[in-house]
Chain A
Amino acid sequence: MAQGPVLKIEDLRSSIEGKEILKGLSLEIKGGEVHAIMGPNGTGKSTLASTLMGHPKYEVQGGSVTLNGEDVLEMGVDERALAGLFLAMQYPSEISGVTNADFLRSAINARRGEGNEISLIKFIRKMEEKMKELEMDPQFMHRYLNEGFSGGEKKRNEILQMMILEPSVVILDEIDSGLDIDALKIVAAGVNSMRAEDRAFLIITHYQRLLNYIKPDFVHVMMQGRIVKSGGPELAERLEAEGYDWVKEELGIEDETVGNEDKDDFVMPMNTAAPKFS
C-alpha cells in the first residue's frame, strides 16, 4: 500500500471580519479518496477552502488541521503548498505582466529548490503536454496570468496548475461554476487522470452535475458552517433529485446559511489597495 496523505480537520472554527463562518467542522481525508462537500450557497463551503489554504482574510478561531500529523495552521500559505496542499480557486487572481509560464516555472522551482531548477525545455514540454490534455491553446502559456481569461479558461488554468504541480491534497472550490458541459468533461478528465492512492481530493460544489464526471467516495452536506450529513455517492444523487429541503427538515434547520450573508464567497475587488499581511 502506498503511503497516502492524511488531512485531518478537527472542530475547525474560522471567521472573516469578525463573523464566525466555520462553526466546528471535522473531516478526515486520506490518499486515494475523493470527498465532495455539497451545500447551498452561504453555508461556509468556500470559507473552508480558504481557511485550509490560509487566506489572510480568514482568522482561525479554534480547532486543528494536520497534514500527515503536521500542524497546517502554523504554516504560511507557501509552506502549505510545499507540504502538498493545492486549492483550485473559485476566483483566481489576475496578475498583469506575469506570464502563465513564468508563474508556473516559479512555482515548480519553489518546490525543487535553488540549484535544482527545471530546465526550460523540460518545463515547456511538460506544460505543452498538460495543456494539450486540457485542450488549451498553447498561446495561454505566454499570456498574463488569468488576465482577460474567460471564467472557463481560468478554471482550466487552475487544473493545469494542479496537473503540473502534482500536489498530494487537492481542494477544488466550485471548479464547475462557469463551465459548459464540454469544458466540464475536460476538466473532470484532468482531475480523474490525477486520481491516485497517494493523492486525496476535496471537491466543493453546490451542483451534483460535476459528480457525474468525478465519482466521489464520500459526500458531505454543509450547513450553518459545519458538516451536517455524510454518506456515499447515493447522497449526492438524492440531493440532485430532491434538493436540500429534506435535509433541513430532518435536522430541524430553518436557515442553513451562516454569518447572515447571502453568499459565502469573499470576492476581493481587483486592482485596488488591499489590506496588507500582518
Chain B
Amino acid sequence: MNRHLRIYWAMLKINFAYLLAYRANFITHLISAFSWGAFRIVGIVLLTGKRGVVFGWTQKDMILLTLGFFMVIGIFHFLFSSNFYLFSRVIDRGEFDAILLKPIDSQFHSTMRVVNYANFVRACVGLILIIGWLVMNHYTVTFIQIVLFSFYIVVGIITTYSIWLLFMTTLIWYPSLNNMVEFLFTLNGFMKYPGEMIRFSGTIVLYLLLPLVLAVSTPVKILVRKNSLEDMIVLSLIAICLFIISRLFWKYALKSYTSAS
C-alpha cells in the first residue's frame, strides 16, 4: 500500500510538471470544465423553472444536486477519466504491453497514472458553491451530516469508477470502440438527477442506471435531510459489489489481451 502511495505521489508530481509545460492546455481544460458546469446549472434552472417541485425535490434542492454533481464529477475527472480516455489508444496501439510489464498493479497504473488538475480546480469551486448555496438558502447542516456527505461522496466516486472500469475493460476485446468513453460521459449525466426518477419510471431495465443516479443524489440527500437511509444502504452495497466485480472482470479480461495492436 505504502509503495503504491509513493508511486502515486510521484505520478502527481509528474503530472504537475506536465501542467507547467502545457499551460495553454490547462486553461482550455479549465474553460471546458467550467463551461459544462455552467451549462448543467443553466440546464437545471431551465428544467425546474416550469415546475417548482419534481420527484419531491424543490428547485433549490435540484440546484444543490447539480452543484454536488459538479463537484463529484470534478473529482472523478481529476483522478480517473483522463486515464480512461487514453485507454482505447493504449490498447489499440499495443502500448498496453508496457503497462503489463511494469512491476505494479496494471489496473492501478492504467486507471490512475494521469490526473487532470483543471478538474481539481472544478471540484474545489464545486465545494465552495455548495457551501455558498447552503448558506444562502439557510440549510442547517450538522457535523454528522458533513461526515456522512463526505463519506458518501467517496462511495459515489468508487461506484462511478467501477462502472467506468467495467465498460472500459471491454475495450481489451474491442479496441476500436474508442467512443466508449464519450458514451460513459453521457451516462454520467444521469448522476445529476434524483434516484426517485428511476424508481418513478417503473421500468425494470432503467434500474441498471440506479447506481449512477444514487452516486450523487445520496450524499446530497444527506445534506437536505431527506429520508436517505435506504439509499445509503443500497449505494454502499452497490459500491462494494461493483468494485469487486470490476476488479475480477479486469483480471479475467487481461487473460484475453493479445498485444500488438
* A and B associate in one complex: no
